[in-house]
Amino acid sequence: MVLADLFSTMWRLLAMDAPGGSILLWLAAGIPAHAAEVLPIAFLFGVTLSLAEMHADGELLVVFGSGISVRSLSRYVIILSLLMAGAMFAANDWVTIPASLKRDSLYGAMTGQKGQGGKVSEITIMADGGLFVYKVGYYDSMATRLVDVDIIERDGSGQPLTRIMASRANWSADRWIFPEARVFSKKDSGEWTEKTEKDFSRPDVKESPGSFGILREKPGLMSSFGLFAYIRLLRGSGLPSVEAETELHKRFSLLFTPLIVCGLSIAFAGLFRKNSLLMSLLFSLSTATVYYVAQMLGSLAAKTGWVSPAIGIWSVTIVFLAVASLGYLKART
């Protein structure tokens, strides 16, 4: 997989005269993500190969003859799959995502796609349940500053009450400070008034800077905690959150992958009397391929809006988890 990354992008990197050291670092930064992808398949092959060889050599007959079932024999493999699921979840937040962020920034630097240097452009979000609408030209995360700010306060029915326009706003402790702002206010008679104020601020104009900065990230490169916050922000702002929700459900559903492949491997062990090693590997790999393809189709269906993210992701996981559990309980022993 690392070589595939290298060969598919080598022409672009060479065209941009990327340094050899940066290319090697970029490849190394992709190893954690690739390891997380291939580890369940490696686990599938390991369990299947071990049990199939024991069956081919007649060792399973001795084990079964001594009164030990295949479920008792594989008990510690199940425990290992549970530990692997927890380790994969922790490694995703602490290792895989930081490495992927580094890899993304390295690729952008080598190909000249450096982006906006920490600035997020053209942002519109709703806050406090839609009572405030923020429209910002761009957000500078390094200086914690909003530029070209236009904020509208609305009542419960959505009618505008106040409008604040300013060239910039700086974050200070718990609110935004406008060095100079034009404030439009609506009177009870329906007329509007305008006044210019220096160092203007309001306690309720306090949307966190993170709400503006988080929009620049990709859902797949966010930590689980950041992804939760991102989804809440999108929902509160009335923006589509299907892609982020799909990524979140997929991230948690993949934790069951070691259990699924373990159950499938144990189910196929000893199932075939002829060419048991080859047939066990073939059927295990085929079933795992169907599982991954089904996950991809479920994710695609969720992102396109055919089904909800929860149904698109978890329906596939539950079905295969049930098949793996049934195969484990009904395994030949």
Render 81-122 in DSSP notation, one character per residue.
HHHHHHHHHHHIIIIIHHHHHHHHHHHHHHHT--TTTTEEEE
Q: Are residues 193 and 250 both part of a single domain?
A: no
Task: Give the pLDDT score at 70.
Answer: 82
**Domain termination site, one of 216, 248, 264:** 216
Q: Which one, of 246, 257, 219, 245, lies nearest residue 300 by Cα?
A: 246
Same structural domain, 26 and 93: yes
Q: Are 179 and 78 within one domain?
A: no
Q: How far apart are CA 85 and CA 224, in angstroms?
A: 15
Q: Identify which of 322, 320, 325, 311 has the alpha carbon closest to the alpha carbon of residue 250.
A: 311
Residue 145 inside a domain? The answer is yes
Has residue 267 been placed in a domain? yes
Q: Are residues 246 and 194 in the same domain?
A: no
pLDDT of res. 32: 92
Of 167, 191, 216, which one is at a domain's C-terminal end? Answer: 216
Are 271 and 209 in the same domain?
no
Boundaries of domain holding 208: 119-216
One domain, residues 8 and 104: yes
Residue 189's CATH number = 2.60.450
**What's the pLDDT tens digit per position in 128-138?**
877 889 999 88
Residue 295 lies in a domain: yes
More confident residue, 108 or 246: 246
In a domain, 73, yes or no: yes
At residue 255 the predicted structure's pLDDT band, cuts being 50, 70 and 90, is confident
Helix, strand, coil abundance in the chain, percent, nearest 5: 60, 20, 20
Distance (Å, rounded) from C-alpha 306 to C-alpha 127? 29
End position of a domain, from candidates 184, 216, 248: 216
Q: In the prediction, which pLDDT does 116 show?
A: 45
Is the pLDDT score of 252 beyond 80? yes
Give a yes or no: residue 64 inside a domain. yes
Is 226 within a domain? Answer: no
Over 90: is that where the pLDDT of 5 sits?
A: no
Residue with tokens 């069956």: 55
* Mean pLDDT within 83-104: 89
pLDDT recorded at residue 331: 75
Name the pLDDT band for 214 (thresholds 50, 70, 90).
low
One domain for residues 49 and 179 = no
Domain count, the chain: 2
pLDDT at 117: 46
* Position 311 pLDDT exceeds 90: yes
Question: Residue 10: is its pLDDT beyond 60?
Answer: yes
pLDDT tens digits along 181-192: 999 998 888 889
* Res. 118: pLDDT tops 80: no
Is 272 inside any structural domain?
yes
116 or 255: which leads in pLDDT: 255
Lowest model confidence (mean pLDDT) among 65-69, 210-214, 253-257, 317-321:
210-214
Check whether residue 125 and residue 93 sit in a common domain. Answer: no
245 shares its domain with 182 = no
Q: Taking residues 176-181, what's their average pLDDT? A: 93
Q: What is the mean pLDDT of residues 149-167?
A: 90
| Per-residue pLDDT at 35 exceeds 80 | yes
Does 15 share its domain with 106? Answer: yes
**270 and 70 in contact (C-beta within 8 Å)?**
yes
Examine the domain organization and report whether 9 and 76 are in the same domain.
Answer: yes
What's the average model confidence in pLDDT over 231-236?
Answer: 78
Instruction: State residue 107's pLDDT score.
Output: 87
Question: Please, which residues have CB within 8 angstroms of residue 31's CB and are 6 or more apart in sequence?
Answer: 2, 99
More confident position, 84 or 142:
84
Report which of residues 211 and 109 the model is more confident about. Answer: 109
In a domain, 288, yes or no: yes
Residues 43 and 76 in one domain: yes
The rounded Cα 29 to chain-centroid distance in angstroms is 17
